């Protein structure tokens, strides 16, 4: 189904990003022999079997992470589709247990929007005392459960936080197309009354960062964008980069999300998605952008374009591949610091964040949270 070597290479990155122990990942990958539907040694089956065992022992958050790996890069067969459903169910069990011991907790949200249904996990929504709204989205292979475990910490920082997915990913049934940026204004409209929607923050990773920048060019309610390795222009227009550099698995996922008939049709579709000079000039808000020196998906020229056009853009660079998975703790700390600083929150608040989370503790955040599951 998918190239097994490529799956294994990217698995190491995505598993690390979720905090799965490297030795565990190596052991699981050693048992995978193929990516054939129905095979006991297949990618989805081996990951799912491990996840099932964790779920049976009540380790629901860890199970969720392994189910997320089983459905990678998207639910292309029934085993992967089951894994995606199971990831949501495992997360729900974990957050239900968490809610019994934590004030506020994590709550589900379902919205019917034009073109489909969007599901999300939330914390801090309150009609009586609306908080500043923070919308969080991942990329083309990231389900909301990968980020939703951070919601209690975001709520403690004073946000009404909502974690959802890129159109076509996970439980988001919207189609991924050139107008997908409208997801963000639609969410803000629907959340009015339960959050402060006059100054909204977008933490939009990878491909959703492209949508966030486009939305902020059109909607004055967005006050800041924070992203990691977002395509802006050159990714969509550079033919040589697309043909030589972009991994086959990335192309396959984009083909599925957009519904394009084939790769030539996909390429023709994406060519028009780059942000125009007028759209970039309209982005007059603070932008925080994490770049990876060895990014194998997004060309360096995308970040350089933002640096040239956006006077309020700030950059953090890591010597890493796409998404900087080996620098997860440093990256998230930088993003949170940028988020709070851009809102005018003074040093005592940001220093308190660093003391409360600490660089090493923040790097181990995902592993530590598993103990609560």
pLDDT in tens, 300-309: 999 999 999 9
Q: Read off the pLDDT band of 344 (50, 70, 90).
A: low
* Rg for the chain, CA atoms, rounded: 20
Domain boundaries, the chain: 4-91, 107-370
pLDDT recorded at residue 60:
98
pLDDT recorded at residue 372:
28
Average pLDDT over residues 228-240: 97
State pLDDT tens for residues 178-214: 999 999 999 999 999 999 999 899 999 999 999 999 9
Tokens of 352: 């308190």
- Alpha helices (H) in 19-110, listed in sequence order: 22-31, 43-56, 60-70, 78-101
The three-class DSSP label of residue 227 is strand
Q: Read off the pLDDT band of 7 (50, 70, 90).
A: very high
pLDDT recorded at residue 62:
97
pLDDT recorded at residue 341:
80
CATH 3.40.50.1980 for domain 107-370: no
Residue 165 and residue 136 in contact, taking contact as beta carbons nearer than 8 Å? no
Average pLDDT over residues 114-135: 96
Q: Read off the pLDDT band of 264 (50, 70, 90).
A: very high
Rounded to the nearest 10 degrees, the angle between the axes of helix 60-70 and helix 4-18 is 150
pLDDT recorded at residue 371:
29
Backbone angles phi, psi at 211, to 5 degrees: -65, -40
Tell me the CA distances in angstroms from 68 to 46, 72, 73, 144, 151, one per residue in order.
12, 6, 9, 10, 18
pLDDT recorded at residue 267:
97
pLDDT recorded at residue 14:
84
Tell whether the model's pLDDT for residue 336 goes beyond 50: yes
Tell me the CA distances in angstroms from 219 to 184, 214, 340, 343, one per residue in order.
9, 9, 21, 18
What percentage of the chain has pLDDT greater than the value 90? 79
Q: What is the mean pLDDT of the chain?
A: 90
Higher pLDDT, 331 or 103: 331
Residue 206 and residue 183 in contact, taking contact as beta carbons nearer than 8 Å? no
Tell whether the model's pLDDT for residue 159 goes beyond 60: yes
CA 346 – CA 348 distance, rounded (Å): 6
Torsion, Cα of 146, 137, 249, 326 (10° steps): -60
Average pLDDT over residues 280-306: 96
Tell whether the model's pLDDT for residue 251 goes beyond 60: yes
CA 96 – CA 108 distance, rounded (Å): 11
pLDDT recorded at residue 367:
35
CA 303 – CA 45 distance, rounded (Å): 38
pLDDT recorded at residue 329:
83
Residue 103 and residue 123 in contact, taking contact as beta carbons nearer than 8 Å? no
pLDDT recorded at residue 13:
79
Could you tell me the pTM of the whole model?
Answer: 0.91
């Amino acid at each position: 189904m998918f190239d097994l070597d490529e799956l294994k290479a990217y698995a190491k990155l995505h598993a690390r990003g979720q905090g799965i122990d490297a030795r565990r990942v190596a052991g699981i990958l050693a048992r995978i022999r193929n990516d054939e539907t129905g095979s006991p040694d297949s990618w989805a089956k081996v990951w799912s079997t491990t996840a099932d065992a964790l779920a049976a022992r009540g380790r629901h958050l860890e199970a969720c992470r392994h189910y997320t790996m089983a459905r990678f890069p998207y639910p292309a067969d029934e085993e992967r589709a089951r894994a995606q459903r199971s990831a949501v169910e495992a997360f729900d069990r974990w957050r239900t247990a968490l809610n019994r011991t934590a004030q506020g907790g994590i709550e589900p949200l379902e919205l019917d929007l034009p073109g489909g249904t969007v599901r999300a996990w939330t914390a801090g929504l309150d009609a009586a005392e609306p908080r500043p709204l923070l919308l969080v989205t991942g990329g083309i292979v990231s389900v909301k459960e990968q980020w939703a475990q951070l919601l209690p910490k975001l709520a403690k920082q004073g946000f009404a936080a909502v974690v959802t997915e890129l159109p076509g990913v996970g439980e988001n049934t919207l189609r991924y197309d050139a107008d997908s940026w409208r997801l963000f204004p639609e969410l803000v409209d629907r959340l009015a009354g339960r959050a402060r929607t006059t100054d909204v923050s977008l933490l939009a990773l990878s491909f959703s960062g492209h949508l966030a920048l486009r939305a902020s060019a059109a909607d004055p309610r967005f006050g800041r964008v924070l992203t990691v390795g977002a395509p802006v222009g050159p990714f969509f227009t550079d033919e040589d980069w697309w043909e030589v550099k972009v991994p086959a698995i990335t192309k396959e996922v984009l083909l599925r999300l957009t519904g394009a008939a084939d790769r030539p049709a996909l390429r023709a579709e994406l060519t028009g998605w780059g942000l125009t000079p007028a759209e970039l000039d309209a982005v007059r808000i603070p932008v925080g952008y994490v770049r990876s020196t060895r990014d194998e998906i997004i060309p360096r020229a995308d970040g350089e374009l933002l640096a040239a056009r956006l006077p309020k853009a700030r950059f953090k660079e890591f010597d890493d591949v796409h998404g900087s998975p080996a620098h997860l703790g440093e990256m998230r700390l930088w993003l949170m610091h940028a988020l709070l600083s851009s809102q005018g929150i003074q040093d005592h608040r940001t220093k308190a964040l660093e003391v409360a989370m600490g660089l090493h503790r923040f790097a181990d955040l995902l592993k530590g949270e598993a103990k609560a599951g």
